[in-house]
Amino acid sequence: MLKKNSWLLWGAALFIAWNCLLLLFLWSRPPSSSSSSSSLTAQVIRLAQDAETELERQKELLHQIYLYSGALWGRRRNRGARITPKPSSPPPQIDVDLVLPVLVLACDRSTVRRCLDKIFLYRPSAQRFPVIVSQDCGHAETARVIASYGDAVVHIRQPDLGDIPVPAEHRKFQGYYKIARHYRWALGQIFRSFRYRAVIVVEDDLEIAPDFFEYFQAALPLLLADRSLWCVSAWNDNGKEQMVDVSQAELLYRTDFFPGLGWLLLAELWDELEPKWPRAFWDDWMRQPEQRRDRSCIRPEISRTMTFGRKGVSHGQFFDQYLKFIKLNDRFVPFTQLNLSYLKKEEYERSFLSKVYAAPEVKVEELQGNRRRELGTVRLQYSGRDSFKAFAKALGLMDDLKSGVPRAGYRGIVSFVYRGRRVYLAPPADWTGYDPSWS
């Protein structure tokens, strides 16, 4: 408050000093040599008008000083109220003019309404986050649901609805070929026709969290600045409620596994991927070393999406065992007010790896028996593919690997909560890289 008052006193002093000088100047002017009283009268009137104009200008100056001091005080007060992991380093600033559209990929689920209703409920700005629904399949009821939103959505339709020639052994996978075709067409529309610089991709069976937009808005500057990142995802593959720390809804990670299920990419990445886009199984293709190129994604401790689409081309694969238990975050985290620079590659590896390998090592039987609780955070070390899969299955993690990368893993490390304590399932500290033959 003292600093605000000093601004006001300085402004008032400037105002008084200027006007004293002005009056002194007017009183000290020599009398006019003209003998004409009308000329003298005109000069006096002109001087009075000049003085009045100057007084108004000074009044406005004082008003601007007051406003500036108030705004400055408000900014300082708000800055002091922010929760920042590293207050010495200011959070990255987002380009406020960058429009970030949401692309909803739809097919034949009229329940797309559930997805869209939550998007419109939580969306902070229609201008900043326009909604584009790309529909495949030509399903009439789904089209009517989308049309019911009127001008609130841009409804585009994938024009090629025919079957795709596939190898005989892939006949049952026709749906995966159509999904890949739809993705290619829809992303082409976003980046080639609409010419957006980035997009959030959502499928029609996803429900979003209250801070979904806040999360992506805050993570976008990281994606723009850090070339070791290639996506931001709203999904934690091991995000079942008993396996996450609900008290740390603000916690984010780097992961080498492409999560999908609500994700953000830049136009530059599409420039790279579009020429070689696969005919099918696009998400597993993204997880291959040739596409990932040692880049990572950002993912949350607690998922910002959940899927309600048990029925689909995957016939409910993983849904009953994993997906329906994923915890959807229900607490708004002001990510744009937090400092996320700890997620930059060098800083993250310094802090995360030291934390993992400083944790005491335990055996899987000790974890299952809930022993050695006094150790707090612990590490369970695996030595190869088989031991990883055995430990993951024993502890309730997803145990599949894609090109050697575990779900939600970073440098082979999977972080999760087991019986209320943090556990790192990790390779030895001298880990040298993924083995693509692990599957």
- Token readout for 183 is 């993705």
Q: Residue by residue, what is the 3-state secondary structure of 100-117? A: CCEEEEECCCCCHHHHHH
Collapsing DSSP states into helix, strand and coil, what is residue 262?
coil
Phi, psi of 379 (to 5 degrees): -125, 135
d(C-alpha 30, C-alpha 412), whole Å = 89
Cβ–Cβ under 8 Å, residues 396 and 237 = no
Collapsing DSSP states into helix, strand and coil, what is residue 376?
coil
Rg (C-alpha) for the chain, rounded Å, is: 31
- Give residue for tokens 């008993």: 242
Reply yes or no on whether 205 is catalytic.
no
Category of 24 on φ-ψ map: left (φ > 0), alpha (ψ -120 to 50) or beta: alpha
Identify the sign of the CA torsion 191, 197, 202, 204. negative
Please name which of 292, 103, 240, 114 lies closest in space to residue 182, comparing C-alpha atoms. Answer: 103
- Catalytic residue (one of 108, 245, 283, 435): 283
Who's near 241: CB < 8 A, 6+ residues apart?
Answer: 325, 326, 327
Counting runs of H as helices and runs of E as strands, what totals does the chain give? 12, 15
Who's near 51: CB < 8 A, 6+ residues apart?
Answer: 22, 26
Considering only the C-alpha atoms of the chain, give the largest distance between any 2 of them, rounded to a whole number of Å: 113
Give catalytic residues, as residue numbers. 283
